[in-house]
Every structure is written in C-alpha cells, then in structure tokens.
Structure 1
C-alpha cells in the first residue's frame, strides 16, 4: 500500500493506519485501544523517513466498532486514514 510492504496474518481484525511519523502517535493509539478494552496481538510500523508518512498495521483480538475508529482519527491528529480489514 503506497509502496509500503504490509504484512498481517488475516486471522484477526486488522487496522491499517496511514499517519505522519511523529513521537507519541503509537503511544496514543495503544492507549486509546487499551482504554476501550482492546488487546493488540501484533503491530508493525513502516515509514519512509523520520517525520514523514508512515503506515501502522495493528492486529487486534476483537472486532472494532466504527465509533472507535472515528475516535482514533479525532483524538490523534497525525492520522490521515484508517482502514479496517475484517476477518470472518
């Protein structure tokens, strides 16, 4: 996606998050997911350069509601887009 290699198992609901690489983005993301009761099973971050565009792939244990996706985008200003890859 956008010339970044994406790797995920497809076994769990997965967030694909396009954002700007800035200090604290991953911490904020993990904190909000924790507060909402989600557990991160696997996470990978790809970036082209410091403070440039980045993509985070985050596999979680349970399905995420659209309201939580909207909250993430609202609360973390560096997020440009979030896509949910849903499993069975």
Structure 2
C-alpha cells in the first residue's frame, strides 16, 4: 500500500520505518529541508533502538522516501498519516 506520513520526528519517522519494513511504500514529508536532506543521505537524527538500520535498509530498498513536496506526497498516499506537533 502507498502511505504518506507528515512529520518525520520521533513519532513519524518510527512509524514510517516500521510501515516500510512490513512492505509498504512510504513517503515522508517535512517542512525542514535540512532534515529531509540528511535523511536522504542516511543520517538518522533521533535515537531509537534499531531505527537507524530500519531507515537505511528500507531507504536503500526504495520503500521509504523523504521529501518536502507535500503535493507529491499527498498524490502518493492512499492513506495520509499526520505526525506533527508531537512533544519531544
């Protein structure tokens, strides 16, 4: 299934990585262009046990993508998930 996750912080990134791991095609969108660029380069900005390998493996496999283009992300997803404004 094609899924979109808005917000790639603590909640959104973990959620997206797990969904990609079970086989979904996930597009993550965020307004922070530097965060998106770092994720596309393989840098995972938060620590959660096992998260870095999940993100890197699924990104390499093409199951998880990161963008700032909200319109493209909406077109991609059959389901839109919102994970913004979550407390640290």
TM-score normalised by structure 2 residue count: 0.25
Higher helix share: 2
TM-score normalised by structure 1 residue count: 0.25
Higher strand share: 1
